[in-house]
Structure 1
């Protein structure tokens, strides 16, 4: 995408559907109004936003059809605002997904952080043709799986206008803060990253763990064990923090952590009113899926690569841990933890993690009781 002096916003929605359903106003009309309002918002007397809607987009070259042009606009924009009424939009074939479905999916696949979802009342899925009905059902099921935070459903044009403004403001603040963090952490030969590099393994390990504990405990570091009790999906989960203070391939650094879940039974007394544990492992460098499954001991497990690092869960023993990658300084470490927690909430994995943690607590207690009775 060519660099621009303006923030490029895309409004994605159906065109001819009426909103509210009993009004004479179409979503296309509303998008044109929103475009004028957003582009009319100025900062220090200068235009800040450039809004893309397909109603007034310039003609594409002959190599692109309408579908390609819309998906290219999704990739090019800085902020994608999805105004969804559950209508998947047009499709070229009966078994295909609709264009609204494709735009939302493309935004999540390319840069999830720039997507903001605004929910309107879903259209009925049984009133159209069979293919159209199936397409809308697929789209609504896809939305339900993504569990995006949407701040409640909007039912009037004024509510929609207000929600668009709130979503755009939130995107600007969050994306700016993430950009600052990324820019500040792009070099590791100066600042705190250099200070951490000067430390020996044990000093660096303690520094990495202290930052995680502060982030998990609201700024307070417990005096004894490296753990926190963290509410996840309404369940208190015991979280142990660890750190690998060099590349995972360095045995001396890796062995400082070992396989911490093998000692979970030693902390069974903590599992009174809490579940788990979950292990968070800050990695000074990167992490791979192969390294994660090697630590677990076998490959047949849930292994997810994300912007934060790697998450691993074993659905038999209910072991759970996450590698937080590139924890070179305090900012990068906090950012990795933040991205991990965002991923849990955005994907619905938080509820699954909490359920798995409850099962793990039962297993740990049984093992501890068995060992005590020997």
Structure 2
């Protein structure tokens, strides 16, 4: 990320394409980008000019790296990337199959999805629409990502939309930074209050904060011992089971308060009958969680493990077990923010559908397991 005193913005697009395609006289995206750069950099905030715009037309040649790598570096380092998508993947290099516009967007996305924005200016139905193999690849990628925040059909509309996007992105990034700043380091405020608690009390507080952040309805009053809640995801009611590791995952006494939570899923058969899928186990972790620790919690290594901004997501495709480990739950605000980032990640990664299908499969497996068990269930009871 950029560390200068200005907010660094990259505007990415194909350079020489006209916009709109039938514009007369011809206006190229390079001309639009230069004009927008000049206007935004002249904008003043409380007497200062806070924005710095990078476009490759004005890039200073650097003998230490080629133009492709310079663009990738800018995509990684910028605070905000605004991609103007017209379906053209851009230059692919001598033997490449991925265009530079595609690579810039994907590089920024992988580095920080929350800083990446796309405005749809495509006219893919036009006879002259981009149709090379790299273009088709880029178009399919953007369609899957589904990250368009707006569209524009002419120069004035595009300029207005870019201004609006940058303003909203700036506000959003400031608000996210403020939430991170509220966390503290555990020696002041709410984080200190949680640190003073014993494991049982802290675990209870963590679960209560997680439930209040995750649950969408308060119609079902939660008991103190209730570790479940229901959230609607993609129009399906999904049952979450909440747990908490009230200290470092490396401390056995804290880790064993969760153990391997999916082993008791059969006790949830009646609860699952009223929802569409589940359970998904969401574990609030007081400290950080690693991929290796999450695999040990699952009980075997053969699973999909994703390290994300909120923590760790684990999915076993055979048994459809899903674990969500939310890191850094040092106080209520941090816990709520971590779950918010998990829910944002579901959208950013296009994971909602996969999560729901996995939950529906797990419900069927749990029902089959429960039907095989006779007599009174033993072990812990999950409310």
Do they superpose with TM above 0.5?
yes
Q: 1:196 aligns with which of 194, 197, 203?
A: 194
Alignment: residue pair count: 370
- Residues 360 and 2 of structure 1, relative CA distance in 2, 3 Å threshold: closer
Structure-2 separation of matches of 1:294 and 1:3: 38
CA contact (8 A) 1:87 1:123 kept: no
Structure-2 separation of matches of 1:161 and 1:47: 19
Matched, 1:207 2:208: no
Residue in 2 that maps onto 1:4: 4
Worse-matched range after superposition: 78-87 or 202-211: 78-87
1:170 counterpart SS class: helix
Residue in 1 that maps onto 2:381: none
Gaps of 5+ in 1: none
What TM-score do you get using the length of structure 1 for normalisation?
0.91
CA contact (8 A) 2:211 2:229 kept: yes
Residue in 2 that maps onto 1:39: 41
- Residues 126 and 98 of structure 1, relative CA distance in 2, 3 Å threshold: farther
CA contact (8 A) 2:8 2:51 kept: yes
Shift of 1:122: 5.2
- C-alpha offsets along residues 331-368 of structure 1, whole Å, 9 cap, x if unaligned? 22112111111111111111100011111111212222
Q: 2:373 aligns with which of 366, 371, 374?
A: 371
CA contact (8 A) 2:230 2:237 kept: yes
CA contact (8 A) 1:211 1:330 kept: yes
Residue in 2 that maps onto 1:309: 311
Residue in 2 that maps onto 1:241: 242
Q: How does 1:1-374 map to 2 (within 5 A)?
A: 3-23=3-23, 24-57=26-59, 59-121=60-122, 123=124, 133-148=132-147, 150-217=148-215, 220=218, 222-224=221-223, 225-271=226-272, 272-372=274-374
Structure-1 separation of matches of 2:340 and 2:46: 32
1:116 counterpart SS class: strand
CA contact (8 A) 2:315 2:323 kept: yes
Shift of 1:194: 1.3
Shift of 1:118: 1.4
CA contact (8 A) 1:126 1:133 kept: no
Structure-1 separation of matches of 2:129 and 2:276: 49
- C-alpha offsets along residues 223-270 of structure 1, whole Å, 9 cap, x if unaligned? 222222111122110111110101112111112112221222212222
Shift of 1:210: 0.8
CA contact (8 A) 2:184 2:191 kept: no
- Residues 27 and 127 of structure 1, relative CA distance in 2, 3 Å threshold: closer
Structure-1 separation of matches of 2:284 and 2:94: 47
1:20 counterpart SS class: coil
1:46 counterpart SS class: coil
Shift of 1:123: 4.4
What TM-score do you get using the length of structure 2 for normalisation?
0.89
2:281 counterpart SS class: strand
CA contact (8 A) 1:259 1:295 kept: yes
Structure-1 separation of matches of 2:281 and 2:91: 45
Shift of 1:219: 8.7
2:329 counterpart SS class: coil
- Residues 296 and 153 of structure 1, relative CA distance in 2, 3 Å threshold: same
Gaps of 5+ in 2: 377-383
Structure-1 separation of matches of 2:106 and 2:127: 23
Structure-1 separation of matches of 2:288 and 2:221: 27
Worse-matched range after superposition: 308-317 or 252-261: 252-261
Shift of 1:134: 1.5
Shift of 1:186: 4.7
1:189 counterpart SS class: coil
- Residues 155 and 270 of structure 1, relative CA distance in 2, 3 Å threshold: farther
Shift of 1:39: 2.2
Q: Which aligned segments of 4 or more residues in structure 1 are displaced greater than 4 angstroms?
A: 122-129, 218-221
Shift of 1:40: 3.1
